[in-house]
Amino acid sequence: MESSSSNAERLTAACVLSIAGGFLDIYTYLCRGRVFANAVTGNMVLFGFHLSNLHWVECSRYLLAILCYALGIFVANLIHRSLPAARRFSWHQTVILLEFLCLAPVCFIPEGEFDFLVNGVISFVCAMQVQTFRKVRGHAYASTMCIGNMRSGTEALCVYFHTRDREVLHKALTYFGVIGLFAVGAGLGALLTGAFAERGIWVSCALLAVSFLIMFIREEEAK
């Protein structure tokens, strides 16, 4: 179990997952009705706005994304608690595999009428990911959003200026690196979504496959 957690906390896995997180966020915004899959706070604000104006269709769109996000957290915890310790894949890899299986069919759903379902699926996936992969190099982080990483990175940078502790500087740089890769993922998503529309989601599937293999290889090496 310790080996599994250590593999999931590796910087390489965190980097790939952060790129995937940025990609998914811009994908849903540009291709699926301008809903951020990861921004629960933003979706809650927009839900309240449309609710106050009695825009029921818009309300349901944002509410579904919020509820699916909550469901994703629940399912990730259920997988963690239910899987036996002796297994071929770690529970982290199992979650990634489930993410892949959820995202792969999305490319076959055309833009427009069923965007609300796609946004629900992607919100579910993002929630599972952020709940499962919570540390990088032993530090708490999020692979699908930036606000917590920005706070932690800036705090660590402030501590470094006060103490000149290089370990703290490395911590700050880890956070800012993850944030930068999230932005790279968003930029990549904007380009590929513009070029391939709904089929661009396959890039995110490929990134998940890479992170799955990274952890699998690392786990075998550790054994």
Q: Is the pLDDT of residue 83 over 80?
A: no
* Segment 68-85 mean pLDDT: 88
Q: Is the pLDDT of residue 223 over 50?
A: no
Residue 214 pLDDT class (50, 70, 90 cuts): confident
Per residue in 133-164, pLDDT tens?
888 878 888 888 888 899 999 999 999 999 99
What is the Cα–Cα distance from 152 to 53, expressed in whole angstroms? 37
Residue 67 pLDDT class (50, 70, 90 cuts): very high
pLDDT value at residue 220: 44
Q: Is the pLDDT of residue 104 over 80?
A: yes
Percentage helix, strand, coil, to 5, in the chain? 80, 0, 20
CB-CB contact of 30 with 195 (8 Å): no
Q: Is the pLDDT of residue 7 over 60?
A: no
pLDDT value at residue 18: 92
Q: Is the pLDDT of residue 60 over 90?
A: no
Report the half-sphere exposure of 99 (CA within 13 A, side-chain side).
36
Kindly report the average pLDDT of the chain as a whole number.
86
pTM over 0.75: yes
CB-CB contact of 113 with 154 (8 Å): no
Per residue in 124-136, pLDDT tens?
999 999 998 888 8
* Segment 183-206 mean pLDDT: 92
Share of the chain above pLDDT 70, in %: 90
Per residue in 27-57, pLDDT tens?
988 888 887 777 778 888 888 998 999 888 8
